[in-house]
């Protein structure tokens, strides 16, 4: 087994363990550990670089999001030659949806490498997808496009991208409900209100009404999540009518 020069001599045992963990996840040896360390650095650590710029995973997340979109777009372009722009855009959105990226981050157990002053139990679901995107950004800076594409093919495309299944996958239940209501000329309303109760985190509750009848209720830690959750419940309650 070959390691980058002086990795164990110039870094701590913790860095050596981090290197081995990364190698298992990536399928190849990282060269610059500093990129990957930043990919797991939460803003709560309040670290800065030599120029006083904040150091955390958010800029790498931005870069990784762009790389992921580019590589998935290339795959769809090659695999679905009959797909028009609208179809390809919709399919890409399904693959890189926040829900899907969160699942990928969880499957790889990336959260265990996150450095934060906030207890990991207090993180929202999106931390998993955010760190996954940051990791993709770190791969691009460390090894370039080819290795980035290799990782995404191995961890995203090969195990998860099934064109036929994705065609039937719902991206947003809220959009589906709104579209159906508009086609059927039905009125709809999302009545959102604070519903913290005994929870330590602030919660929102929502009542989804269609033609002035409440068809679903839900609560979550954000208005967007509460509306999506209520829409999903409404979809399953009304799916016979929506076909």
Residue 201, classed as helix, strand or coil, is coil
152-201 residue pLDDT tens: 999 999 988 888 777 776 777 888 888 888 989 999 999 988 876 666 67
Task: For residue 176, give the nearest of 125, 237, 221, 101 by alpha carbon.
Answer: 237
The CA distance from 110 to 128, in Å, is 7
Decide which of 152 and 6 is more confident: 152
Backbone phi and psi for residue 177, each to the nearest 5 degrees, phi listed first: -65, -45
Output 1 or 149, whichever has higher pLDDT: 149
pTM of the model: 0.69
* Integer Cα distance of 146 and 128 in angstroms: 24
3-state secondary structure 28-97: CCCCCHHHHHHHCECHHHCEECCCCCEECCHHHHHHHHHHHHHHHHHHHHHHCCCCCHHHHHHHHHHHCC
Are the beta carbons of 215 and 208 closer than 8 angstroms?
A: yes
7-167 CATH: 1.10.1520.10
Confidence class of residue 243 from pLDDT cuts 50, 70 and 90?
low
Q: Is 44 within 8 Å of 116 (Cβ atoms)?
A: yes
Query: Domain residue spans in the chain?
Result: 7-167, 173-242
How far is residue 51's CA from residue 66's CA, in Å, rounded to a whole number? 25
Give CATH for domain 173-242: 3.30.160.20
Residues with catalytic roles = 65, 133
Average pLDDT of the residues in 113-134: 92
**Can you tell me the distance from the alpha carbon of 89 to that of 149, in angstroms, rounded to the nearest whole number?**
19
């Amino acid at each position: 087994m070959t390691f980058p020069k002086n990795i164990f001599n110039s870094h701590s045992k913790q860095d050596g363990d981090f290197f081995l963990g990364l190698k298992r996840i990536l399928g190849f040896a990282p060269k610059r550990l500093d990129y990957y360390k930043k990919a797991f650095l939460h803003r709560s650590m309040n670290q800065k670089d030599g120029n006083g710029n904040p150091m955390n995973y958010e800029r790498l997340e931005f870069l990784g999001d762009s790389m992921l979109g580019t590589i998935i777009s290339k795959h769809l372009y090659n695999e679905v030659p009959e797909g028009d722009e609208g179809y390809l855009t919709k399919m890409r959105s399904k693959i890189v949806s926040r829900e899907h990226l969160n699942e990928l981050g969880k499957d790889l157990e990336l959260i265990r490498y996150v450095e934060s002053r906030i207890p990991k139990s207090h993180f929202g679901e999106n931390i998993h997808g955010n760190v996954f995107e940051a990791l993709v950004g770190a791969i691009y800076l460390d090894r370039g496009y080819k290795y980035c594409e290799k990782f995404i093919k191995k961890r995203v495309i090969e195990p998860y991208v099934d064109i036929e299944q994705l065609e039937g996958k719902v991206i947003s239940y809220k959009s589906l409900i709104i579209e159906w209501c508009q086609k059927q000329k039905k009125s709809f309303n999302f009545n959102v209100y604070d519903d913290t109760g005994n929870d330590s985190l602030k919660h929102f509750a929502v009542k989804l009404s269609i033609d002035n009848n409440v068809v679903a209720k839900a609560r979550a830690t954000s208005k967007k999540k509460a509306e999506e959750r209520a829409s999903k419940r409404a979809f399953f309650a009304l799916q016979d009518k929506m076909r």
